[in-house]
Structure 1
Amino acid sequence: MTSSISDWIWSERFWLPENVTWADLEHPPPGVEYPRIRHLLYALPLAVIVFLLRLLFERLVAKPCAHILQIQAGVPRQAQPNAVLEKAYQSKTSPDTRQLEGLCKQLDWDERKIQRWFRVRRNQDKPGVQKKFCESMWRLTFYLGIFIYGVRHLWVSPWTWDTRLCWDNYPFQHQSPEQFIHYAAELSFYWSLMFSQFIDVKRKDFVIMLVHHLATIFLITASYANNMLRAGSLVMCVHDASDVFLEAAKMANYAKYQRLCDGLFVVFSVSFFITRLVIYPFWVVYTVLVESWEIVGPYQSWWLLNGMLLVLQTLHIIWFYLIARIAIKAVFKGKVAKDSRSDIESSSDEEIYSSSGKDPGQALKPKDVGHTGSLNGEAHDH
């Protein structure tokens, strides 16, 4: 039973070009190494190590930096203890009209007072500015490090400059140690995000980000399995580039350096446009879609991977529209608009404000099936 399921999942007819088998990839010539799917199992223990490194980094590096920048952890306003409302909150954090009416009768409170209690209680569960700063600093460190590593490897690779070489003798292409490290680092990072998402305070886009992480893990694993390492490395590096500026802008926002935040967000917008709307479609997608068709020819998993790359390009266009709106406001109005999925809720009845210290506004829902220009929430996008 298990064997038949495995054979179905890893069907040679689906994953590999015509007349190529897994056995062909199991026995490379002397001095040549082909990717083997079992090697990606190393990413799971590595993900645990990455998660532990994140905890140490936030404790020993990010928090001291936050203190230097006078970013306080902050103690959220505590909701008035009430067993009835707490029970209702545990079942549904935002009660509908019918529930509100029932709670009003049960407690003899007016509806406005109950709504205010739920708002305060929701904010009580939100992460503080210092925590978000530490998370962004960790992501900035990872994205910057992996981007530099990727560029260093790709710069000396001939197939970076002549993308037709991505398909030379495909799929019988040697896997270099640098390619494996790049893949293992990216995959372990996204597995670690999967772990931390269930441990960290849940945000509004929990389900969306969960789907995003799963899709990213699938794409990395699939491209490794059928030895699309050359094109896959290009995809990962292109997507990491703009993330560096986004996380830097978020950190500046949390530290209340508004002008620096605005400037970094504009740089992020420009880098996003260049990498996602120019380099990605006309360089990376072109080679995977057109040049591979000419040199290798399509096969079943080829359609799947190209379809996902084109869907991602569609999302890039949508995200850039949202980013551009915020960048224009930053240039002409002098401040970056607040993310519409902000971790802090506000109302005229409470003194609960965004991390910038200004009255909150509504503007954007980004990054990756969760990503674009979000400055007050999580953001990823690969």
Structure 2
Amino acid sequence: MATAAAGLLGLLWGWLWSERFWLPQNVSWADLEGPGDGYGYPRAQHIFSVFPVAAGIFSVRLLFERFIAKPCALHVGIEDSGPYQAQPNAILEKVFISITKYPDKKRLEGLSKQLDWDVRKIQCWFRHRRNQDKPPTLTKFCESMWRFTFYLCIFCYGIRFLWLSPWFWDIRQCWHGYPFQPLSRGLYYYYIMELAFYWSLMFSQFTDIKRKDFLIMFMHHLVTIGLITFSYINNMVRVGTLIMCLHDASDFLLEAAKLANYAKYQRLCDTLFVIFSAVFMLMIPFCQFNFSILFYFCQ
């Protein structure tokens, strides 16, 4: 049984990393084992350095939210208090948890007779109890401010790095000499930090506020990690840096719009969201153009 499982895993691994699929003709993975220049070529073992970096990023986040984001939230008028607490009542709590959070008229009348409360008072209790489960705005502000800060910082780093890179000014350079494109120190740091950040989001999603789009965001982080990892291992890092930088530009604008919304700066929120939408739409033709060039060079 163990031998069969190992053989199946070997076939799957061989299919996943098929040289015919990932690399141009007459190029093998062994060709990328050479020294190259600087940091050599990207290798799969480099990915393991991501996990301690991700743990460090998560630790920095905890300090940032407590000592920087929270004071900023209080400064813009976001209260450090949760929603109104519902009056403790065992019967209503049992109905709320086990039966319904939105009792109908018949159930309200039955509870009114049982507790000797007015129907209006019971309705208020359920409303307060529902609000009690909603995450406080202060927590949402701190989470968004952390993401905004990281996306802005990594975007600035990306622009500074790409400004001196030839493929920033001529996109065709992304595929010039592919896959024999040496890995520089700046490119290595850029990729590792991006990948580590998304791994930290993957971990922290289980401790952050549980939102309705939890599963969608989990799949988003998983796909993003997969794309960054695969593009690194098969040395598509040049085009990868351009796409990551463009994504970061739209992401920090989106988080900025959320911050403005939490702080009730509605006009600023609307303006930032319009700019975010425009930047996000730019990514579609850019990605299509790069994939068409990739297809051309891999013929």
Q: TM-score, normalised by structure 1?
A: 0.67
User: For the Cα contact (< 8 Å) 1:63–1:130, is it kept in 2?
Assistant: yes
Residue number in structure 2 paired with 1:262: 267
Distance 1:90 1:227 in 2: 52
Distance 2:298 2:159 in 1: 26
Q: Which ranges in structure 1 are unaligned for 5 or more consecutive residues?
A: 298-382
**Does residue 276 in structure 1 map to residue 276 in structure 2?**
no
Deviation per residue, 1:172-227 (Å, 9 max, x gap): 11111111111111111111111111112211111111111111111111111211
Which structure has the larger Rg over C-alpha atoms? Answer: 2
Aligned counterpart for 1:178 among listed residues 178, 186, 189 = 186
Query: For structure 1, which segment, 181-190 or 110-119, has the greater mean C-alpha deviation from structure 2 after superposition?
Result: 110-119
User: For the Cα contact (< 8 Å) 1:159–1:230, is it kept in 2?
Assistant: yes
Aligned counterpart for 1:187 among listed residues 170, 192, 195 = 195
Distance 1:244 1:30, change over 3 A: closer
Residue number in structure 1 paired with 2:61: 54
Q: Which ranges in structure 2 are unaligned for 5 or more consecutive residues?
A: none
State the Cα distance separating 1:255 from its structure 2 match: 2.5
Distance 1:224 1:69 in 2: 41
State the Cα distance separating 1:86 from its structure 2 match: 4.3
| Paired amino acid for 1:167 | W
Residue number in structure 2 paired with 1:296: 298
State the Cα distance separating 1:10 from its structure 2 match: 2.8
User: For the Cα contact (< 8 Å) 2:261–2:269, is it kept in 1?
Assistant: no
**Does residue 250 in structure 1 map to residue 258 in structure 2?**
yes
User: For the Cα contact (< 8 Å) 2:95–2:101, is it kept in 1?
Assistant: no
Distance 1:92 1:44, change over 3 A: farther
Residue number in structure 2 paired with 1:306: none
Residue number in structure 2 paired with 1:66: 73
Deviation per residue, 1:45-88 (Å, 9 max, x gap): 21111111111001111112223223212221223434465456
Distance 1:34 1:92 in 2: 59
State the Cα distance separating 1:115 from its structure 2 match: 7.0
Residue number in structure 2 paired with 1:35: 42
Equivalent pairs counted in the alignment come to: 289
Distance 1:9 1:144 in 2: 34
Distance 1:163 1:78, change over 3 A: same
Distance 2:100 2:197 in 1: 31
Q: TM-score, normalised by structure 2?
A: 0.83
Distance 1:242 1:55, change over 3 A: same
Query: For structure 1, which segment, 4-13 or 153-162, has the greater mean C-alpha deviation from structure 2 after superposition?
Result: 4-13
Residue number in structure 1 paired with 2:227: 219
Distance 1:112 1:11, change over 3 A: farther
State the Cα distance separating 1:94 from its structure 2 match: 5.3
Distance 1:123 1:11, change over 3 A: farther
**Does residue 24 in structure 1 map to residue 26 in structure 2?**
no
Identity of aligned residues (%): 53
Residue number in structure 1 paired with 2:215: 207
Distance 2:109 2:22 in 1: 59
Kindly report the root-mean-square deviation, in angstroms, between the aligned alpha carbons of the 2 structures.
Answer: 3.0
Aligned counterpart for 1:234 among listed residues 242, 253, 268 = 242
Distance 1:193 1:116, change over 3 A: farther
Aligned counterpart for 1:129 among listed residues 137, 142, 147 = 137
State the Cα distance separating 1:148 from its structure 2 match: 0.3
Q: Which runs of 4+ in 1 moved over 4 A?
A: 82-97, 100-119
Residue 17 of structure 1: SS of its match in structure 2? Answer: coil
User: For the Cα contact (< 8 Å) 2:36–2:182, is it kept in 1?
Assistant: no
